[in-house]
Structure formats: C-alpha cells, structure tokens
Amino acid sequence: MVSDFAVTNPKATPGALVAICCLTLMVAGCGGGGNSTPPPPSFTITASPSAVLISQGSTSTPVQISVQAGNGFQGTVSVNPQGLPAGVTASPAFPLSIAAGSSQTATFTVANTLARGNYNLMFAGTSGTLSSTAPLILTVSGGAVNGPAQDFKKQVIYQIVTDRFFDGDPTNDNPPQSPGMYDSTKTNWQFYWGGDLAGIQQQMSYLAGMGVTAIWMSPPVENIDVVANLSGTAYAPYHGYWARDMQVISEHFGDVNNTWAAFDSLVAVAHQNGIRVIVDFAANDTNPNDGGEFGDLYDNGQPFASYQNDPAPPNNLFHHNPTITNYDDPFQLQYYTLDDLADLNQEITPVDGYLKSALAQFMQHGTDGFRLDAVKDVTWGWEYTLANAAFTAGPTFLYGEWDLGGTTDPTYDDAVQFSNRSGMPLLDFSLANAMRDVFANNGDFHEIDDTISQEDSDFVSPNDFVTFVDSHDLARLLSLNNNQDLLNEALALQLACRGIPVVLYGDEQYLHNDTDGGNVPYNRLWMSSFNTATTAYQLVNQMANLRQANPALAYGTSQQRWINSDVYIMERQFFNDVVLIAVNKSQSTAYDITGLYTALAPAPYTDYLSGLLGGFSIQVNAGTGGNNPVTAFNLGANTVSVWQSSTPAASPELGSLGPRVAQAGLTATLGGDGFGSSMGMVLVGTTAVTVQSWSDSSVTFVVPSVPAGNYSVAVQASGGSTSNALPLTVLTANQVPVTFTVNNVSLPAGAAIYLTGNVMELGSNAQTANSAVGPLLAVPASTTSWFIDASVPAGAQIQFTFFQVLSDGTIVPEGTSHSYSIPATGVGSVSVNW
C-alpha cells in the first residue's frame, strides 16, 4: 500500500505565490495574453510499504522513500522520521537527502526489548519552504520462537474461528470435493464464509500489534464433505468439529488437495513473529451420526471407521449408546453420545493409535499446544494417556475443555482430580461463569473472588488455568449486556488474573450480533474490521506486554485487597514483583477507597494503562510485613487502574514447571526469574539432574530415573542459592490405557469400588479413595461387574486389587491381588473375579 499526502507550501505567503507566478510566466515567455497561471513547484514523498512488521531483535525489509516532483520541482528533500521510538535504529542514518524524482531505501532494526505493538511514524520531508509527509506504521512483533514452549504462563492466547476471521485464499472457498457449502453473502450462519489459514497469516501484523503471543485455531482437520441435513436445516462444518479425516488439513482452510502447505506456512510466519500456534483437537467424536457422512472417519484418505457398519464388540470403533441426558453422570459422560456426534471408542488399539498419531503429526508440523475438546466426555483414564503421549512426543502445552457451572458443580471434584493427576490444565469455566455474571448481570465481585480462592486451594497449578470471558460456545458479553465499558473492565481483570488468558476474536472490535440472544451461531460473526485503534485492542496490547515484563501476572499468587459488590482490588505477587489492579464496574457510583494495603513498596505509582480506562496514580506509604498502606483515593465509576513494580531477582525464583506429570527421560521446562546466566543445578528431590538449557528465566532438564512418585523440584543458581520448590509427579513409565474389570461384586447401597495396585499410577496399594483409581463404573446391564479405564505404565508387570468403600466409610478390601502384564504399546484389558 502506498500512501501519499499531497503537499503544497503551507508557509508560502500570498506575496510569494505572486512572485513564483510571475517567474513562471516570464520563463514561459508568455506575451501576457494568457490567463492560466501554472501552479508552483512542489513535491510529495511516499513510503512504500507504508506498514512493516518487524520481529523484536531483527531488521525490517527495506522501506522505499520516494520524492515525486511536481511542477518542475528540482531540489533535494531532507527526510526525517518523526516518532521513531527508542529502541529502533534506522539504516542509513536519517536525515536522508533524496533528490527530486528519486528514492532511497531504509531499514529499521528493533531492539529485543521494545514492547510489542504498533508504532506510528511520520516521514517529514523538507526542501526550503516546501514540505511533505508520509506515514509508516512499524508493527513490532515478538522475537522469533524457536522450539516449543512448555511454559505458557506468559502467553496471551487469541481464539480464532478460522472460517469467520479472514479470507486469505478465495480458491478454497468452494472446493470441488465439498462444494455447495459456502455462502459468499455471509447470511447463512450454518455455511462456510471463506475464512482460512492464509487469512490468519495475512493478519499477522494485526495479531502481533495486539501483543497476543499465541493463537488458538478452531479444528483445522478435514471435515465432512456434504452438509448434514438435521431437522430440516442444512449444516456445514464451518466450525471444524465434524471431523472426517484428522490426518489432513481441511480443503476449506488450506488447499483443495488437503495438504499441510497453508498450515506449515502459517506456523512459520507465526513463529517468526513470536506467536505460538494452538490447535483445537477433538478426540471424543467424529461427526453427526444422523446426517452428512453419518460419523464415518478416514485415515489420510482411506476409510478407517464406519459408524453404521461398525464391528461387533470388542472390536467396535465407536460406542453406540444413547445421547447424554445427565451431564453429571460419569458413565453417560464418558460412554454416551455427545449430542449426535459419533462417539469414538478410544479403548481399542486402532482408535487409540489413530488419535495419538494425529496429534503427534500436528506436533511434527510445529503446533505448540492443543486445546482438547470436550475432555469431560472422553474416557478420563484414556485422556491421561493422551496427555502423556503428547508430552512423550515432545515438549507441548495442553488444556482441556471441562464444562463446569462453577465450583459447586457435581463434576467439579472429578475435574479437580482429572487435572491434578493427568497434569492437564483446564479452561477455567467456573471463573468464566463468575466473570460473566459479574460483568453482564451486575453480579457481586465476591463471586469472582470466591471462585478464585476455591480453585486456587484445589488445583495444583492455578497459574496454568486457561481463562476466558467469551468463547465460541457462549453468547458474547456484549450480547448479554451491550456495554463496552464493562467488556473492557472484564478483559482488564481477566488479563490480570492468574491463568493464561484467552481473548475471543472480535471482542477487541466490540463485535456482537444479538439474534437469538447472541447464542451460537450468532456469536461466530464475520470479523468485519481490523481496527487497531479500539480501546480493547490497546488494552490487550498493554496487558500482554505487562505479562511479559512483570512475572507477577504469570507466576504470582492472588490476593483480594479490597472488595464490595462493585469494586475489586486484586494483587498478584511473585516475590518482589507486584501487580495491583483496581476495578470499579459501577455505572454511576464512585467509591472512596480507604484502608487499602499492598505489597508494592512505598513510592508513588502511575497507572500502567496510562489512563486508558480512567486510571490514575496512587501513593504507597511505609507499612509492615508486606502490607503497605495506600493513601485513600476515589475510584470513579467504570474505572480500571493498574499499578505495578518488578524487581530483578537476586536469587532464583521458580514460577513454572511443565509438564508436572512425566516419566524419566522427558524434557521438562522451568520458568521463573533470577536463575542466573551461568548454569547451576536442578534438583528433583535431592537428585541433581541433567540440565539441557539454561537462561536467567528458563531452564530445561531431563526427568531423572528415580522411583515413581511425587517430588519437589528446585533450581540452584551457580552461586549456590536455591529457589522455592514446585511439585513434579514422576511416572513409572510412559502410559497406556488398560480397562480393568472386576466381577462378582454386589455393592451395598451407597458403596463404591476402587482399584489399587503396586505402581504409583494405581495408588501404590493405598486403600483410600484419594490415592486409588475410581470409583469404578457399572458394566452396562450388569449388577455385579464393575470397570474402569486407567492410565498405567507401559510394559510393567503389576499386582492389582480392589476395595470397597461403604457408605459409612468402612473399607472392605478384596484381600487378594491379581497379576497383569501391561502391554508395551496399544491398549490392554483385564477382567478378574473378586
């Protein structure tokens, strides 16, 4: 894009204009009979391109600055950039002297400390009294990422429904193998609208300028080729959740040959700009069993599983159970059908292998992490093995979708156990529901505060939660309450909260469509503008940069410092790093904030958001015990203020360990501060382990061969000082799923039955519900057979046994144990009599 601003001579006086005119007339030798006065000489300057994307620590492509002469202008123009930020150096050095009709190129080198964002420059050219300007937008993206990140806590994720974001390649809009599912008018909400992977790539400057460091894309795999006609409506799988072949890329999002080219290209450009790529991966099901392709699944183009022609048990590739009606029933959740989606039977080797190899293939193509769809609905034990398979395939980050109403939801305890034992963080539905109630329904801030404290005491690693306010499955906040101030306030708080924040595409453009309450599909709007000037876009940029700069957001603990139904003042603290955020969501009431204490050191603090949401400065005074009084202030209605300070660590401070659950030989990553520049040691328990890489803020090490169990991990700097510790569960070996069945058990009413055994994964023979595996589920149509699918060490020879927990807590042990040889690969099953 070339922009040019016409000029003229703003300083010329009427007298000078007359003089130039006379001169021109004389040169032209006009006899005085003409009455057209030729315009005076002038010039314009242009910069091409007018926008460049530069990764931190690198140099831009050349920008050509040209001088176009007008009306015989023949001078030389001196060009200077205005608004060049500190941290950017130009080559050659400015000013440039550019002769009329010619051009020069310049490149810009960006320091790796310059914050991500859009910087508006203006080239000013002058020649005598003439001048002209040309704008240039420098978008500074993150430094190139190299290798996968296991520590995602400093990331800000941007969620994209690929079909609805940007059409970068019209040739895939209506592909030949799945035609007639595209609506160019974008009025049929159930059809494809043309967005694709090339489109995401083409918007890299927009994404980078917003400061986001990861994108989560809707499932990019090939989906069904024909519409599913359901209850009289034709549905196309524009959302990507109706897989047909998980081993190839959709022809609607990539190319018509289903190759990986567009995916690979997007990953390369994203990584070049410091942006991680997260793929939404649905392991629960394939596609509707009642229309379209009736659940069928292909493996790289070859038929793999037919729902309607499925082998009989035990070789069935699908479960053929009714639709889930009770979302609190563990058996229904794991083995029934989610809506009408053909439910895969992960407990047989071909399906297990298909899903794990599909995920591994995405890793080979550079995928940095996975959002695992519907983890509440897939066999839980099998999913532990999926997580382990992913971590075994290479460093990665996973988070699961376990839908919860809140911390009193009947499956909340199952979610806690699932996340803590598998090492897989979850999307934070409880917090999202509290946030949505507070910001859309004028709920009380105690809801948010109570949720955070409950979850933080139950989950091993609350900073690994993936937080959200809006999602592709929920009506947008603006549909619930069309108030942009409240959306800004919700985003600001979410971006300061513990957990890795996700921003749904379009929230930063205040997108919403309120048809049917704004529910699906009306929340999946076309991204109609890419305006980088909105308040929300700038807010995300600033909070994302703060997350990079101040470890309190990524690694800190959370503390409520002041609260009423309208006001929430929350502090995040990681050693000497502190962020304090104050939110007043009231539309009309300002509050006097007295009696506020903070861990910020005594000093004045300005608003980190520079007043973007009405923030201001505060004065912190000397107190005791990390509780420093803040001079009373008035917090106006609809205000967010952020105060912060970050101090380089003098000794190692450990904030992150991933994966938290791993077997010997896997690489694990530690994140924190003050590890020092020279290599020290990593201690797993008391064992010093092999360090693979070392920097002041990140260390990777190899999980050692130690007896399976729970360990504390700490970093010891080369000078000898040792960090705080974080928990690591060392597994016996890589994991495979085994279905354990026990027969001949008539359980008394209110009793439950559990599995234990002589490996850590089964609870090391402990006969307590908290350590063992279970409770077991009833085998369908039986009253005396019980089963569970458990994640156990591949190739191990084990002893296992069962015990009952009666309603009064009495333990009834089986009293005997069984041997089993766990397969080295694939899946296993074993059935015994009590």
Between 167 and 489, whose beta carbon lies closer to Ca ion? 167
Pick one of Ca ion, ligand NOJ, none as the site partner of residue 328 (Cβ within 5 to 8 A by kind): none
Pick one of Ca ion, ligand NOJ, none as the site partner of residue 194 (Cβ within 5 to 8 A by kind): Ca ion
- Give the closest residue to 665 by CA, choosing from 542, 793, 754, 773: 793
What are φ and ψ of residue 27, in 5° steps? Answer: -60, -40
Which listed residue (169, 183, 401, 577) is catalytic?
401
3-state secondary structure of 209: helix
Fill in the amino acid letter for 333: L
Assigned token pair, 694: 């070392």
Give the shortest CB-167-to-Ca ion separation in angstroms: 4
Question: How many Å apart are CA 255 and CA 669, to the nearest integer?
Answer: 36
Give the shortest CB-326-to-ligand NOJ separation in angstroms: 18
489 is catalytic: no
Give the shortest CB-174-to-Ca ion separation in angstroms: 9
Question: How many Å apart are CA 200 and CA 183, to the nearest integer?
Answer: 19
Give the shortest CB-516-to-ligand NOJ separation in angstroms: 16
Between 255 and 373, whose beta carbon lies closer to ligand NOJ? 373
Between 241 and 575, whose beta carbon lies closer to ligand NOJ? 241
Pick one of Ca ion, ligand NOJ, none as the site partner of residue 241 (Cβ within 5 to 8 A by kind): ligand NOJ
Between 415 and 753, whose beta carbon lies closer to ligand NOJ? 415
- Give the closest residue to 399 by CA, choosing from 428, 368, 424: 424
Between 108 and 241, whose beta carbon lies closer to ligand NOJ? 241
Pick one of ligand NOJ, Ca ion, none as the site partner of residue 172 (Cβ within 5 to 8 A by kind): Ca ion
401 is catalytic: yes
Pick one of Ca ion, ligand NOJ, none as the site partner of residue 282 (Cβ within 5 to 8 A by kind): ligand NOJ
Assigned token pair, 132: 């002209």
Contact residue for ligand NOJ among 108, 192, 241, 465 (CB under 6 A): 241
Long-range CB contacts for residues 176-183, cutoff 8 Å, separation at least 24: 176/256, 177/225, 177/251, 177/256, 178/224, 178/225, 178/226, 178/251, 178/252, 180/227, 181/226, 181/227, 181/236, 181/238, 181/252, 182/236, 182/252
Pick one of Ca ion, ligand NOJ, none as the site partner of residue 374 (Cβ within 5 to 8 A by kind): ligand NOJ
Question: How many Å apart are CA 399 and CA 214, to the nearest integer?
Answer: 14
Q: Which of residues 701-730 bind ligand NOJ (CB under 6 A)?
A: none
Between 169 and 343, whose beta carbon lies closer to Ca ion? 169
Q: Which of residues 66-85 bind ligand NOJ (CB under 6 A)?
A: none
Give the shortest CB-373-to-ligand NOJ separation in angstroms: 5
Question: How many Å apart are CA 533 and CA 139, to the nearest integer?
Answer: 13
Give the shortest CB-366-to-Ca ion separation in angstroms: 22
Give the shortest CB-374-to-ligand NOJ separation in angstroms: 4
Q: Which of residues 771-830 bind ligand NOJ (CB under 6 A)?
A: none
Indicate the helix (H) or strand (E) that contains 774: none
Assigned token pair, 370: 């996975």
Which residues does 243 contact at the CB level (< 8 Å), separation at least 6?
219, 221, 222, 223, 282, 286, 287, 297
- Give the closest residue to 591 by CA, choosing from 550, 655, 637: 637
- Give the closest residue to 342 by CA, choosing from 306, 304, 295: 295
Give the shortest CB-640-to-ligand NOJ separation in angstroms: 29
Give the shortest CB-219-to-ligand NOJ separation in angstroms: 8
Question: How many Å apart are CA 220 and CA 237, to the nearest integer?
Answer: 11
Assigned token pair, 24: 């021109």
Would you give the end-to-end CA distance of the chain in angstroms?
76
Q: Which of residues 316-375 bind ligand NOJ (CB under 6 A)?
A: 373-374
Pick one of Ca ion, ligand NOJ, none as the site partner of residue 789 (Cβ within 5 to 8 A by kind): none
Pick one of Ca ion, ligand NOJ, none as the site partner of residue 255 (Cβ within 5 to 8 A by kind): none
Between 201 and 804, whose beta carbon lies closer to Ca ion? 201
Question: How many Å apart are CA 471 and CA 503, to the nearest integer?
Answer: 8
Instruction: Give the burial string for 143-162 (b: 16+ CB within 10 Å, else e).
Output: bebeebbbbbbbbbbbbbbb
Q: What mask of x and - would describe binding to ligand NOJ in positions 390 to 409, judged by CB under 6 A?
A: -----------x--------
Between 374 and 527, whose beta carbon lies closer to ligand NOJ? 374
Give the shortest CB-111-to-ligand NOJ separation in angstroms: 40
Do residues 640 and 543 make contact, with C-beta atoms less than 8 angstroms apart? no
235: which strand partners?
A: 228
Between 473 and 516, whose beta carbon lies closer to ligand NOJ? 473
Do residues 598 and 578 make contact, with C-beta atoms less than 8 angstroms apart? yes
Between 118 and 345, whose beta carbon lies closer to ligand NOJ? 345
Q: What mask of x and - would describe binding to ligand NOJ in positions 272 to 311, judged by CB under 6 A?
A: ----------x-----------------------------
Between 466 and 599, whose beta carbon lies closer to ligand NOJ? 466
Contact residue for ligand NOJ among 6, 64, 410, 473 (CB under 6 A): 473
Between 194 and 757, whose beta carbon lies closer to Ca ion? 194
Pick one of Ca ion, ligand NOJ, none as the site partner of residue 373 (Cβ within 5 to 8 A by kind): ligand NOJ
Question: How many Å apart are CA 492 and CA 486, to the nearest integer?
Answer: 10
Do residues 240 and 218 make contact, with C-beta atoms less than 8 angstroms apart? yes
Total of residues contacting ligand NOJ (CB under 6 A): 8
Which listed residue (373, 470, 508, 607) is catalytic?
373
Sign of CA dihedral 522, 524, 525, 529: positive
Pick one of Ca ion, ligand NOJ, none as the site partner of residue 209 (Cβ within 5 to 8 A by kind): none
What are φ and ψ of residue 158, in 5° steps? Answer: -110, 120
Question: How many Å apart are CA 232 and CA 495, to the nearest integer?
Answer: 42
Question: How many Å apart are CA 828 and CA 489, to the nearest integer?
Answer: 51
Between 195 and 211, whose beta carbon lies closer to ligand NOJ? 195
Q: Does residue 121 belong to the site contacting ligand NOJ (CB under 6 A)?
A: no
Pick one of Ca ion, ligand NOJ, none as the site partner of residue 455 (Cβ within 5 to 8 A by kind): none
Give the shortest CB-184-to-ligand NOJ separation in angstroms: 24
Assigned token pair, 432: 């999202």
Site residues (CB under 5 A) for Ca ion? 167, 169, 172-173, 194, 196
Do residues 169 and 198 make contact, with C-beta atoms less than 8 angstroms apart? yes
Do residues 820 and 806 make contact, with C-beta atoms less than 8 angstroms apart? no
> Burial of 442 by CB count in 10 Å (0-12 exposed, 13-18 middle, 19+ buried)?
middle
Q: Which residue is nearest to ligand NOJ (CB)?
A: 241
Give the shortest CB-242-to-ligand NOJ separation in angstroms: 8
698: which strand partners?
A: 671
Do residues 170 and 516 make contact, with C-beta atoms less than 8 angstroms apart? no
Pick one of ligand NOJ, Ca ion, none as the site partner of residue 167 (Cβ within 5 to 8 A by kind): Ca ion
Pick one of Ca ion, ligand NOJ, none as the site partner of residue 820 (Cβ within 5 to 8 A by kind): none
Give the shortest CB-339-to-ligand NOJ separation in angstroms: 7
**Residues designated catalytic:** 373, 401
Residue numbers at the binding site for ligand NOJ (CB under 6 A):
239, 241, 282, 373-374, 401, 472-473
